[in-house]
Structure 1
Amino acid sequence: MACNFADLFEHSVDAMGQRTALIHGDRRSTFAELDARANRLADHLAGAGVGPGAHVGFQMHNSIETMETLIACFKLRAVPINVNYRYGVEELVYLYDNADLDVLVYHRRYEPAVAPALARAPRVRHAIVVDDDLGGDHLPSAATEYEAALAAGSPARRVVERSADDLYMMYTGGTTGLPKGVMWRQEDMWRVLGGGIDFYTGEPVADEFQQSRVGAQSDPATWLILPPLIHPSAMMPTFTALWTGNAVVFESRFDAAAVWRTVIRERPMVLVITGDAMARPLLDAHAEADGDTSSLVVIASGAALLSQPVKNALLERFPSALISDSIGSSETGFGGMGFATKDDDPGRGPRVQTGRGAVVVDDDGRPVAIGEEGWLAKTGSVPLGYYKDTAKTEKLFRTVDGVRTVVTDDRARAEEGGYITLLGRGNMVINTGGEKVFVEEVESVLKAHDSVFDAVVVGIAHERWGQQVAAVVATTDTGAPDFDDLIAHVRHHLAGYKVPRTLWVAETVVRSPSGKPDYRWAKEYAGARTPDHRVGTGGDR
């Protein structure tokens, strides 16, 4: 079996060519049309010297052209590299160089940052600019026009002998450190996040044609995928939908009111979101939605877990829908899935049914006993390592008792029945007077308070305790929260030493495009302002 992204897509084209594949605004593309346009772009890229192993950056928000670019790269055995479209010039210069980009494809609205970054990135020998619907049409560019490139390309498939070993790479880690590329074999990524192992039964699919074969025998569904395609939480569900003959709807940017208009118009069965950062605005906007949103039967969160109050609200608003969230990362892929139940304890920590080889291990990389804490790890289909970083690869990717294992920085506890309770990221632990505090557990409890819309927790220096717990919160209204009530709420769920001693109120909490908290921003925000509230240490610390 090839188990290659391009082959899997072409199987769907051959089996279901006239089905709708992508929907973006008032545009629609069938599988055959998507294939032909990707072939045209592949022909242009090949003419520009792009072949197996070449790195093609895509600095693009969600659109049909973004998927055409990804598919064209995979068809040529080239490696598409995700470029965060929120990056400034200095960050772009670093990533263009670190990722060894040969070509860059980008939406025109990012021209103000792209142009000066490309001027300092001589390795990038070719750039292609795509017109977009977000205000970039008036910006001049020296890059090749996307539609002109496609018009000159051939719609026929190029003959390329592909392999399951062809590379899939995802740049990650920009919220806590410099971005780094995680390298996967395409078959391994397909197994963990693309349906190569059935998500519900855990059984590997029989062959590379199974998804398209079963899809052709079934009525197609529509999936509305909101996270950015520069993150696997959106890219892999999109490919999974296409490989199984379903249609995918994109929004150029996240606008909660617009999402519900799209749901009413397109009637999707599946909605993919990212944690509270999307769920809370969607819930607020749903009250004003003018139409039927009952088509949704699955609301799935990836890359960031839902807080308990949000789970409660989703279950109340969509009582017939399955609400799920999952754990995973660019380094592990899919690690486990949890299904929402009402009124769980927000201080308990997220609990998921494990999958795809997820396990909790000790410092030596060996599984811990039930009830013990350790590091969240992954066996089975795992990445090859970090691009151009042998030291980090050796630290994270180990071979234990003959089994290749990814040992993450996430702390977890093994539970009965194949469950894992997530405790928090080990590299984000706050050490206060010798006590360890995981920021995620405090964030979860803060967000369970009625007055808190979002929260991010950090450690700040303290003369006596070394560090103290601090938080930046965004409120559900324009005023400051009742701090005394908020602190009492946290104390009800958590030990005294975990209570934030210093709090700042921000208009919004900054997150990455994938929905993860930006801890660097939180520390800078706190460092530049007088706290809005301080809590005395008291005797119950």
Structure 2
Amino acid sequence: MQTPLTVLDFLRRAETVYGDRIGLVDEPDQPAQSWGDLSYRRMAELARAQAAGLDRLGIGPGERVAIVSHNSARLMTALYGVSGHGRVLVPVNFRLKAEEVAYIVEQSGATALLVDPELDAALAGVPVRHRFVLGAESDALLYDFEHAPVEYPVDESDTATINYTSGTTARPKGVQLTHRNLWLNAVLMGLHFGASDRDVYLHTLPMFHANGWGLPFALTGLGARHIVLRKVDGAEILRRIDRHGVTYLCGAPAVVTAVLDAAADWDGPVPGRDRVRMIVAGAPPPTSVVERVEAELGWEFMQLYGLTETAPIVTVNRGRAEWDALPPAERAERLVRQGAPALGTELRVDEEGEVLVRSNTVLAGYWEQPEESAAALRDGWFHTGDGGVLEDGYLSISDRKKDVIISGGENVSSIEVEDCLYSHPAVAEVAVIGVPDTKWGETVKALVVLRDGSAGDEAELIAHCKERLAGYKAPTSVEFRSSLPRTTTGKLQKFRLREPYWAGRAKSVN
């Protein structure tokens, strides 16, 4: 027997096994009326009511419903009320400008747009057939509790969500993720990172980003409790961990830094010691951050490498029994790698150094972009655009291929140089880029944000690198900044940092 794998499987199990359990604690401080504490039975009722509401609006199977929202119970429930009942959810980055949201709505062909109240004015001009501002008034229109939803047949190969890439260099592409993609990704996340009905998960990760990495599905199916956090703040994260007994959270290195900074001012023992597990992804973290998470917070550090196009799991790095007796620095060196391939995932690095992936979580294609899809999926492999090295079964990302600095014929990984600079006590943030040079083609430049109270010294930072790296890898110049541009997932927007140095040139490398 074979039955289709669909995202609704996770909520159905939660309703059946954990129906009376509080499964979702909504953000109390938000412009829309909070839904408060929801049992899994109530979540399932809301999802069915939303599907019936879409029926009433005439929004049929396969139609797209876009939602622009901070983390909320309404957004999480829509994963089931929309995708679980035959439509396609389009979760949109709430930090995008109106014209960017308008492009996504138009390109996806979304029939309806659901908007967070905080974004109502900014997105007022986005054209769409049905528009709703999330809250008590729209709840009455979007949720029909009087009628059972139409049971549309859903196949596992059907598109469940379209998740738009960050679009840092061009128009964003709509990543088509199927029910099968999302189902298997969720199961792999729960398997590799360990999850159970005893877990309490804090949503520090935006739910729009690769559907919260699939953990809203995985942890729902296992009966864990979800704590919704609307906006990331280091001190508030610690307060919620303390208040709710949180055991699990995710985030980019920037989120880790915010927590570490808040922990330094925390009155008393840091909440969650020897209990909390944190998955870090979005950018390769410095080894010093890994050490600090384990030493200062007492949390387990785990790392995920993935992309929106892979739903997102590709590799997993979690402490092994063989590493338990290692000194903290050596253990951190192992954990800082992106990790070993997830179950059912094949990896290889081609002759140009690009990481290629083959797995059941790889996207079906880019929405209505057949040429882009064919290029990304050529020869039966997904081409990540990341440069990396495989050693002893573990992947280390050296850089985005386009960000590798070639100075005097030598390849320099900006990540390696950044990691070295992060080990200097004065450095809070750093981005390393290649800038044009008449002799070497390009040379290494470091853009540095200093810690509060620290003074900048270019010569000292360059010497720091030369003591620890090959001479050609050390920056030839250091520029101090007040901040560095990042995407919502914590990735440095290096194209913005490089632009002024390469302006007026035919290409941005030498």
TM-score by length of 1: 0.82
| Deviation for aligned residue 1:30 | 1.0
Q: Verify the 8 A CA contact 2:192 2:316 in the aligned structure 1.
A: no
CA offset at residue 249 of structure 1?
1.0
Aligned to 2:316: 337
Residue 139 of structure 2: aligned partner: 147
Q: Output the aligned Cα RMSD.
A: 2.7
Which residue is equivalent to 1:50?
59
Read off the aligned partner of 2:350 and give its amino acid letter: D
- 2:384 is matched with which residue? 408
Contact 2:189 / 2:218 at 8 angstroms: preserved in 1? no
For 1:13, the equivalent position in structure 2 comes to 15
CA contact (8 A) 1:347 1:445 kept: no
**Structure 2 residue aligned with 1:362, among 334, 350, 355?**
350
Q: Percent identity?
A: 25
Q: For the Cα contact (< 8 Å) 2:290–2:335, is it kept in 1?
A: no
**1:312 equivalent in alignment to 2:291:** yes
- Does the residue aligned with 2:353 lie in a helix, a strand or coil? strand
Distance in structure 2 (CA, Å) of the matches to 1:72 and 1:463: 58
Give 1:130's match in structure 2, choosing from 122, 127, 134: 134
CA 191–151 in structure 1, closer or farther in 2 if over 3 Å, else same = closer
Question: Take 1:479 and 1:524, find their aligned partners in 2: how far apart are those partners?
Answer: 28
1:414–1:421: 8 Å Cα contact kept in structure 2? yes
Count of residues in correspondence between the two structures: 480
Looking at structure 2, the residues matched to 223 and 383 of structure 1 have their Cα atoms a distance apart, in angstroms, of 26
1:155, distance to aligned residue in structure 2 (A): 6.9
Indicate how the Cα distance of structure 1 residues 440 and 282 shifts in structure 2: closer, same or farther if over 3 A, else same: same
| Alignment check: 8 A CA contact 2:47 2:80 kept | yes
**Post-superposition offset of 1:17:** 0.9
1:348-385 per-position Cα deviation (integer Å, ceiling 9, x unaligned)? 9735222242412324xxxxxxxxx8321211312212
> 5+ unaligned residues in a row in structure 1: which ranges?
132-143, 202-214, 364-372, 529-541
1:337–1:75 CA distance, 2 compared to 1 (3 A): closer
Counterpart of 1:536? Answer: none
For residue 200 of structure 1, report the CA deviation from its aligned partner.
Answer: 6.5
**Quick one: which of 465, 473, 486 aligns to 1:511?**
486
Secondary structure of the structure 2 residue equivalent to 1:454:
strand
2:297 pairs with 1:297: no
Mapped partners of 1:380, 1:194: distance in 2: 14
Distance 1:221 1:519, change over 3 A: same
Aligned with 1:481 (options 446, 449, 456): 456
CA distance in structure 2 between the aligned counterparts of 1:18 and 1:145, rounded to whole angstroms: 27
State TM-score, norm by structure 2.
0.86
Cα distance, 1:64–1:432 mapped onto 2, change above 3 Å: same
Pairwise CA distance, 1:153: 4.5
Post-superposition shift, 1:347? Answer: 12
Correspondence 1:174 to 2:167: yes
Which residues of 2 match residues 218-367 of structure 1 at below 5 A?
219-232=197-210, 234-274=212-252, 276-290=253-267, 293-294=271-272, 296-319=275-298, 321-332=299-310, 333-339=312-318, 342-344=328-330, 350-355=337-342, 356-363=344-351
Match of 2:85 among 76, 80, 102: 76
Give the aligned partner of residue 22 of structure 1: 24
Q: Is the 8 A contact 1:261 1:289 kept in 2?
A: no
Q: Which residue of 1 aligns with 2:413?
A: 438
Question: Structure 1's 272 and 351: CA in aligned 2 closer, same or farther, altered over 3 A?
Answer: closer
Residue 524 to residue 152, structure 1, CA distance change in 2 (3 Å) = same
CA contact (8 A) 1:307 1:346 kept: no
2:119 to 87, 98, 110: 110
- The amino acid that maps onto 2:38 is S
Q: 1:194 offset after TM fit, Å? A: 3.8
Question: Which consecutive unaligned segments of at least 5 residues does structure 2 have?
Answer: 29-35, 504-510
User: What is the deviation of 1:197?
Assistant: 8.1
Please report how far the alpha carbon of residue 524 of structure 1 lies from its aligned counterpart in structure 2 after TM superposition.
Answer: 5.4
Q: Provide, for residues 374-405 of structure 1, a one-character-per-residue CA deviation record: whole Å limited to 9, x for no partner.
A: 32121131221212222222222123xxxx32
Q: Distance in 1 between matches of 2:486 and 2:334?
A: 22
C-alpha change, 1:495 and 1:448, in structure 2 (3 Å) is same
Q: 1:361 to 1:524 in 2, by over 3 A?
A: closer
- Pairwise CA distance, 1:325: 0.8
Does residue 161 in structure 1 map to residue 153 in structure 2? yes
Given that 2:305 and 2:338 are in contact with CA atoms closer than 8 Å, whether structure 1 keeps it comes out as no
Q: Is the aligned partner of 1:199 residue 2:192?
A: yes
Sort the Cα spacing of 1:495 and 1:384 in 2 relative to 1 into closer, same or farther, 3 A: same
